[in-house]
Amino acid sequence: MIIAPSILSADYVNLQKNIETVDKAGAEYLHIDVMDGNFVPAISYGPGWLKAIRPITKMTLDVHLMVQNPERYVEQFAENGADIIGVHVEATPHIHRALQLIKNAGAKAEVVINPGTPVEAIKPVLYMVDQVLVMTVNPGFGGQKFLPKTLKKIQQLDQLKQTEGYDFDIEVDGGVKANTIKSCADAGATVAVAGSYIFDADDPAGQVATLKEATK
């Protein structure tokens, strides 16, 4: 299981130190939640944050755009160092075009679905994505409880990978802890985002190790 610490829960004053800590602990991805105050109530980082982060880590920068009409920002985030860019199917009427833009910008394309969105909504674009993000909480806030019913969607996606020959990663985001990550892995998830579980702890590096151990 690839572990993707989310900086939404990091200490912004000591952000570089936090990033270096999880990097040295073996986390492969760094998850960056971009929020516009429209698609979700909160507001967070812009492309400038990504530009500042890129030189301090070689981790894969996994950018999750929780913004309305994400097509407007794809090129900026790709230029500033995003390796993966995720867009919500609920946030644009042109999901195919948004994913094409990501590919054309040189990043890996990810489609994201909220807890209330069925897998059927993204079936037409699964052939073109590198990753699918299943939100296991409602987007916009950290520290929420894992929604067990989202496991069925992970299972459905895993089944589609097998029957259709797809090779996308399945990422989960929300309420990921040592006692929930194993269920996600068993259902077919390959990448797990964790924010408060890692950065709210006294030993973030130890939390990364605990998550990895839980899926062995």
Q: Report d(CA 166, CA 156) in Å as an integer.
A: 13
Q: Mind giving me the DSSP string for 102-163?
A: HHHTTSEEEEEE-TTS-GGGGGGGGGG-SEEEEESS-TT-SSPPP-GGGHHHHHHHHHHHHH
* Binding-site sequence positions: 6, 31, 33, 64, 140-143, 173-175, 195-196
Q: Active-site residues: which are they? A: 33, 173
* Binding-site sequence positions for substrate: 6, 64, 140-143, 173-175, 195-196
Q: Report d(CA 53, CA 99) in Å as an integer.
A: 24
Residues 6+ apart with CB under 8 A from 113: 88, 89, 90, 119, 121, 122, 132, 133, 134, 135, 153
Q: Report d(CA 102, CA 85) in Å as an integer.
A: 7
* Binding-site sequence positions for a divalent metal cation: 31, 33, 64, 173
Joined together, the tokens standing for residue 190 give 């390959």
